[in-house]
Structure 1
Amino acid sequence: MDAAVQRQIERDNLAELTAAHEAEHGEFSQAEIDAARALLRGDADGGVGSAA
């Protein structure tokens, strides 16, 4: 399968999962979004709960 098509399928699936989660639990907070972005960028703990 073409890589671009596969990536679009992954994005569509993620959008479905996100919508289902938000329908059940409400919108994601900015802190949750920031933590997810940090994880995607390779920050193992996502910046959540780290001690200073």
Structure 2
Amino acid sequence: MLKEIALLGNLSNQRNYEYSDTEVQKLFAAIEAELKDCRSKFAHKSRQRRIEF
């Protein structure tokens, strides 16, 4: 997964790809939203595991 994220950097080569600043912002906003969602799932599970007396 981290390798695939690192490969996104290849898209920054404007000799091979065309993109606008808006498209870059949308790309990273979508990635950040998914990461936030994933992180919240881990936080939610750790709260479920707590045993309270």
Higher-helix-fraction structure: 2
TM range (shorter): 0.3 to 0.5
TM-score normalised according to structure 1 size:
0.47
- TM-score when normalising by structure 2: 0.46
Highest relative contact order (Cα 8 Å, sep 6+), 1 or 2? 1
